[in-house]
């Protein structure tokens, strides 16, 4: 017997063209379904009061998208809201409960230890978005933590999220960064800050695990129904909705991880509590972009065994999805063996599904529009030419576009980049031969390649420069410059040419920290 979904209690409000509030108010048109419909899934809570709220950065474009009044929020009042000192009208602040596998070990209770969901708003496209404060003080889920965030990691999450968004990768985003005027104590004393984060939702694989671990399968079902309504509405009325939910979450993860791999993004801490059910990239901690291509690249200082290295990300996504599948088994089928069999099929499909997204994106990066069987070989051949030769991932693909405009095109930069790569010449010939079977005009091809191979990514040394200027010297100019150029990653922007380059001399052993 197939388990049918329980009727959902709330109705989604879709206001397709919400008008920006021009009354000069800092009003948020909250409509808080999580608070209303999922009682027992959170603790209602209040942010800690901070000494001296000041706004460091407001994401005006995102504010407009959310139907907010950016001018009104760019103010003392806004600073109070974005540090948690003032609760905007209609907010229902709460800390969400979740569990999670951290580096493979199950922790039955994590939860928002330093974050508060203020509520949900419907954006200009009719999409429901969470507004969350991160770093707003202790909650019932804080365990040993102080509930705070430091300015550096807050700005880092701001930059990374905006860069990913501009790269066309689903992600949570920063609405604001605000200083608290209070110190936080890590290895040393750092300025405290709060990030206001916008997400499709903050529901994680770990949210399902929280209830499944407690054998509260009614709650797993409530959560699954909520998720279907909110993120996978096309599955309503499906004959096997929970199996379909698993398959659809897997599909979005396959698409997402493929995009990460295309740009060399390494999340760094792909614990199940850091995997969003919506398919957005979430929880920018020790993440960083790979410079030279090495599948074993790890930046996170806590990832001692390389569990979350570049090349492992698809496998870890599948592992995390298997953990999600386990939570859904009693919903998928009342016969446990049958449930396991169907869920296993979905999980076993993941590598092929991922591969399809990966090769589709790689074709685009290599300028191939008419799929051929052997394209995987061409793609892998390029990676093989890079590997072991200290070749910058981003530059390699960007320079390839110059060389894609036919026989008369400029292959100088790509040849120079691969000067010491013995496999390159042969590969380059094979690629040129492969391109000759394409019917796309040469200039169109080069153009199309530049639209998928960014010139600008958040280079590690540039991110560090921007953060230290902000934190150590209260100089936000480097942060602003970096942010500005990262918002147009596919445009050449000659004035910022130096920002396209990897760190001169490289930076062996670059390390990132969770920085919480
Ligand atoms: P993260 O490593 O940021 O994904 O966080 C893992 C868990 O630790 C989550 O439950 C967080 O809410 C919690 N956490 C991280 N940093 C802090 C902190 N400074 N205070 C309290 N809880 C924290
Ligand atoms: Mg997390």
Residue 196 has pLDDT above 80, yes or no: yes
User: What's the pLDDT band for 416 if we cut at 50, 70, 90?
Assistant: very high
Please tell me whether residues 169 and 246 are part of one structural domain. Answer: no
Q: Is the CB of 272 under 6 A from ligand 1?
A: no
- CA of 154 from ligand 2 middle (Å) equals 14
337 half-sphere exposure, CB direction, 13 A CA radius: 0
pLDDT in tens, 259-271: 999 999 999 999 9
The pLDDT assigned to 23 comes to: 61
Q: Where in the sequence is the domain holding 444, given as residue range(s)? A: 365-450
What gap in Å lies between CA 228 and CA 224, rounded to an integer? Answer: 6
Q: Whose CA is nearest to atom 11 of ligand 1?
A: 113
What gap in Å lies between CA 150 and CA 180, rounded to an integer? Answer: 9
Residue 433: Cβ-neighbour burial (10 angstroms; 0-12, 13-18, 19+)? exposed
Query: Does the residue 355 lie in any domain?
Result: yes
Ligand nearest to the CA of 110: 1
> Are the CB atoms for 260 and 298 separated by under 8 Å?
no
Query: Does the residue 331 lie in any domain?
Result: yes
Q: Is the CB of 157 under 6 A from ligand 1?
A: no
The pLDDT assigned to 488 comes to: 98
Neighbours of 118 (CB within 10 A): 26
Query: Does the residue 69 lie in any domain?
Result: yes
Residue where a domain terminates, one of 361, 390, 414: 361
Residue where a domain terminates, one of 419, 435, 450: 450
- CA of 118 from ligand 2 middle (Å) equals 17
DSSP per residue, 271-296: -GGG-BTTS-B---SS-EE-SB--TT
Query: Does the residue 402 lie in any domain?
Result: yes
pLDDT in tens, 49-103: 999 999 999 999 999 999 999 999 999 999 999 999 999 999 999 999 999 999 9
CB neighbour burial string for 464-494, b if at least 16 within 10 angstroms, e if fewer? bbbbebbbeeeebebbebbbebbeebbeeee
Classify 511 as helix, strand or coil: coil
Please tell me whether residues 76 and 116 are part of one structural domain. Answer: yes
- CA of 173 from ligand 2 middle (Å) equals 15
DSSP per residue, 131-151: EEEESB---TT-TT--SBEEH
Q: Is the CB of 286 under 6 A from ligand 1?
A: no
3-state helix, strand, coil in the chain (%, to 5): 45, 15, 40
**Higher-confidence residue: 348 or 409?**
348
Query: Does the residue 59 lie in any domain?
Result: yes
The pLDDT assigned to 186 comes to: 94
Query: Does the residue 348 lie in any domain?
Result: yes
Please tell me whether residues 79 and 148 are part of one structural domain. Answer: yes
Q: Whose CA is nearest to atom 23 of ligand 1?
A: 113
Find the mean pLDDT for residues 131-137: 98
Residue 4 has pLDDT above 90, yes or no: no
Find the mean pLDDT for residues 463-491: 98
Q: Whose CA is nearest to atom 22 of ligand 1?
A: 113
| Statement: the pTM of the whole predicted model exceeds 0.85 | yes
Please tell me whether residues 311 and 420 are part of one structural domain. Answer: no
Please tell me whether residues 59 and 197 are part of one structural domain. Answer: yes
Query: Does the residue 378 lie in any domain?
Result: yes
User: What's the pLDDT band for 406 if we cut at 50, 70, 90?
Assistant: low
Q: Whose CA is nearest to atom 16 of ligand 1?
A: 516
Is 273 annotated as catalytic? yes
Q: Is the CB of 113 under 6 A from ligand 1?
A: yes
CA-based nearest residue to 273, from 320, 229, 313: 320
- CA of 439 from ligand 1 middle (Å) equals 52
Please tell me whether residues 40 and 120 are part of one structural domain. Answer: yes
Ligand nearest to the CA of 274: 2
pLDDT, mean over the chain: 94
Find the mean pLDDT for residues 427-454: 95
DSSP per residue, 30-70: ---HHHHH-TTSEEE--PPP-S--EEEEE-HHHHHHTT--H
Please tell me whether residues 348 and 395 are part of one structural domain. Answer: no
Residue 373: Cβ-neighbour burial (10 angstroms; 0-12, 13-18, 19+)? exposed
Q: Is the CB of 112 under 6 A from ligand 1?
A: yes
Q: Is the CB of 516 under 6 A from ligand 1?
A: yes
Q: Is the CB of 20 under 6 A from ligand 1?
A: no
Please tell me whether residues 341 and 371 are part of one structural domain. Answer: no
Phi, psi dihedrals of residue 344, rounded to the nearest 5°? -65, -40
Q: Is the CB of 110 under 6 A from ligand 1?
A: yes
First to last CA, the chain: 46
To test the pocket of ligand 1, the residue of 47, 145, 276 to mutate (highest count of ligand atoms within 8 Å of its CB) is 145
- CA of 139 from ligand 1 middle (Å) equals 11
Q: Is the CB of 285 under 6 A from ligand 1?
A: yes
Please tell me whether residues 60 and 186 are part of one structural domain. Answer: yes
> Which residue among the candidates 112, 130, 273, 333 is catalytic per the annotation?
273
Please tell me whether residues 44 and 183 are part of one structural domain. Answer: yes
Please tell me whether residues 295 and 156 are part of one structural domain. Answer: no
Residue 6 has pLDDT above 50, yes or no: no
Pick the atom of ligand 1 nearest to 111's CA. Answer: 10
What gap in Å lies between CA 23 and CA 367, rounded to an integer? Answer: 49
Please tell me whether residues 288 and 319 are part of one structural domain. Answer: yes
Classify 21 as helix, strand or coil: coil
Comparing 93-97, 158-162, 212-216, 509-513, the range with the smallest average pLDDT is 509-513
Find the mean pLDDT for residues 268-280: 98
- CA of 515 from ligand 1 middle (Å) equals 10
To test the pocket of ligand 1, the residue of 108, 113, 135 to mutate (highest count of ligand atoms within 8 Å of its CB) is 113
Pick the atom of ligand 1 nearest to 149's CA. Answer: 19
What gap in Å lies between CA 510 and CA 489, rounded to an integer? Answer: 23
What torsion, rounded to 10 degrees, do the Cα atoms 107, 108, 112, 113 define? -60
Query: Does the residue 376 lie in any domain?
Result: yes
Comparing 149-158, 211-220, 281-290, 405-414, the range with the smallest average pLDDT is 405-414
Question: In which residue are the tokens 């054998």 written?
Answer: 215
DSSP per residue, 386-433: HTTTT-BHHHHHHHHHHTTS-TTS--HHHHHHTTT-TTHHHHHHHHHH
What gap in Å lies between CA 126 and CA 255, rounded to an integer? Answer: 23
Find the mean pLDDT for residues 503-513: 81
61: which residues sit within 8 A by CB, 6+ positions away?
none
What torsion, rounded to 10 degrees, do the Cα atoms 436, 439, 442, 447 define? -120
- CA of 274 from ligand 2 middle (Å) equals 5
The pLDDT assigned to 244 comes to: 98
Question: Domain count of the chain?
Answer: 3
- pLDDT over 70, % of the chain: 94
The pLDDT assigned to 96 comes to: 98
Residue where a domain terminates, one of 361, 381, 396: 361
Q: Is the CB of 145 under 6 A from ligand 1?
A: yes
Classify 489 as helix, strand or coil: coil
Q: Is the CB of 90 under 6 A from ligand 1?
A: no
Comparing 112-121, 134-143, 503-512, the range with the smallest average pLDDT is 503-512
- CA of 150 from ligand 1 middle (Å) equals 13
């Amino acid at each position: 017997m197939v388990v049918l979904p329980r009727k959902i209690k709330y109705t989604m409000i879709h206001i397709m063209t919400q008008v920006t509030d021009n009354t000069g108010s800092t009003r948020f048109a909250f409509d808080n379904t999580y608070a209303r419909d999922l009682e027992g899934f959170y603790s209602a809570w209040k942010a800690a009061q901070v000494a001296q709220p000041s706004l460091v950065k407001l994401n005006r474009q995102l504010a407009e998208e959310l139907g907010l009044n950016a001018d009104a929020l760019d103010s003392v009042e806004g600073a109070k809201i974005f540090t948690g000192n003032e609760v905007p009208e209609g907010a229902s602040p709460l800390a969400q409960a979740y569990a999670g596998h951290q580096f493979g070990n199950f922790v039955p209770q994590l939860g928002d230890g330093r974050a508060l969901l203020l509520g949900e708003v419907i954006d200009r496209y009719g999409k429901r978005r969470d507004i969350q404060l991160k770093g707003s003080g202790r909650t019932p889920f804080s365990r040993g933590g102080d509930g705070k965030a430091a300015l550096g990691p807050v700005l880092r999450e701001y930059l990374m999220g905006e860069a990913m968004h501009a790269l066309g990768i689903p992600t949570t985003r920063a609405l604001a960064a605000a200083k608290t005027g209070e110190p936080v104590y890590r290895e040393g004393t750092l300025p405290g800050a709060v990030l206001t984060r916008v997400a499709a939702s903050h529901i994680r694989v770990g949210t399902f695990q929280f209830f499944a671990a407690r054998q509260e399968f009614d709650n797993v079902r409530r959560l699954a129904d909520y998720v279907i309504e909110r993120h996978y509405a096309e599955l309503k009325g499906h004959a096997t909705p929970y199996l379909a939910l698993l398959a659809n979450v897997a599909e979005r993860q396959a698409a997402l991880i493929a995009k990460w791999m295309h740009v060399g993004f390494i999340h760094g801490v792909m614990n199940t509590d850091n995997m969003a059910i919506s398919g957005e990239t979430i929880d920018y901690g020790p993440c960083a972009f790979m410079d030279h291509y090495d599948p074993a690249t790890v930046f996170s200082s806590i990832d001692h065994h390389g569990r979350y290295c570049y090349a492992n990300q698809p496998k870890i996504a599948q592992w995390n999805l298997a953990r999600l599948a386990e939570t859904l088994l009693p919903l998928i089928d009342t016969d446990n063996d049958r449930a396991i069999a169907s869920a296993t099929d979905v999980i076993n499909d993941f590598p092929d599904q991922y591969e399809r997204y990966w090769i589709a994106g790689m074709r685009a990066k290599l300028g191939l529009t008419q799929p051929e069987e052997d394209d995987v070989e061409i793609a892998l051949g390029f990676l093989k030419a890079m590997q072991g030769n200290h070749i910058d991932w981003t530059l390699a693909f960007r320079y390839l576009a110059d060389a894609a405009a036919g026989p008369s095109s400029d292959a100088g930069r790509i040849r120079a980049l691969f000067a010491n790569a013995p496999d390159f010449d042969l590969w380059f010939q094979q690629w040129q031969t492969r391109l000759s079977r394409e019917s796309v005009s040469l200039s169109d091809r080069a153009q199309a390649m530049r639209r998928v191979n960014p010139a600008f990514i958040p280079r590690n040394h540039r991110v560090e420069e921007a953060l230290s200027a902000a934190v150590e010297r209260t100089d936000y100019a480097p942060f602003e410059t970096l942010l500005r150029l990262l918002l147009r990653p596919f445009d050449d922007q000659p004035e910022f040419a130096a920002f396209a380059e990897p760190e001169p001399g490289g930076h062996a052993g670059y390390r990132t920290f969770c920085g919480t």
